[in-house]
Amino acid sequence: MPQIRPLSVFHALLLAFAPLVNSGCGECVFEAVVSAQVIDADGDPLADVEVRTCLGERCAVAEGDDNCVSTITDADGRFTLEIPQCRPEPFKCELRPLLLEAMGCEQTTARVDMASETDQVLTYECES
């Protein structure tokens, strides 16, 4: 009769987590709803700024990004937007960059912190 040996703790953990490794554990698949305010260099709120982000694993903004969502800041420069995560390096996630653009101004990128529990402020210097 063959002898049955109990699994070591290491082998038991390896078996328990094997399905996660094969199923893409470590992928950035969540979104965060972020509320923020866009201000100018003097600290004044900027209304009617388009704030846009796109889906994807890359953490850089590129021409041709698709599946984008956007919103416009209100009179107080405030907006709320669901921002997807991306992966800047293996097993590290952060929120995708935002594109800010106002009429007559150059487009710029900004980042928000997904760990912040307070409203975030983004400075946008309009360079036409």
* Residue 87 parent element (H or E): strand 78-89
Residue 47 lies in a domain: yes
Structure tokens at 81: 């937007």
Q: Would you say how long the chain is, in residues?
A: 128
pLDDT on residue 76: 97
Q: What is the pTM of this model?
A: 0.70
Residue 100 lies in a domain: yes
pLDDT on residue 10: 45
Quickly tell me which residue has 């210097």 as its tokens: 125
Mapping DSSP to helix (H, G, I), strand (E, B) and coil, where does residue 72 land?
strand
- Over residues 46-62, the pLDDT tens digits come to 999 999 998 766 677 76
Which residue range(s) make up the domain with 106?
Answer: 31-123
Inter-residue contact 93 to 86 (CB < 8 Å) = yes
- Over residues 40-99, the pLDDT tens digits come to 999 999 999 999 998 766 677 766 667 788 999 999 999 999 888 888 877 788 888 999
pLDDT on residue 11: 44
Residue 71 lies in a domain: yes
What is the count of structural domains for the chain?
1
Residue 6 lies in a domain: no
Looking up residue 37, the CATH number of its domain turns out to be 2.60.130.10
Quickly tell me which residue has 């402020």 as its tokens: 121
CA dihedral of 59, 62, 64, 66, whole degrees rounded to 10: 30
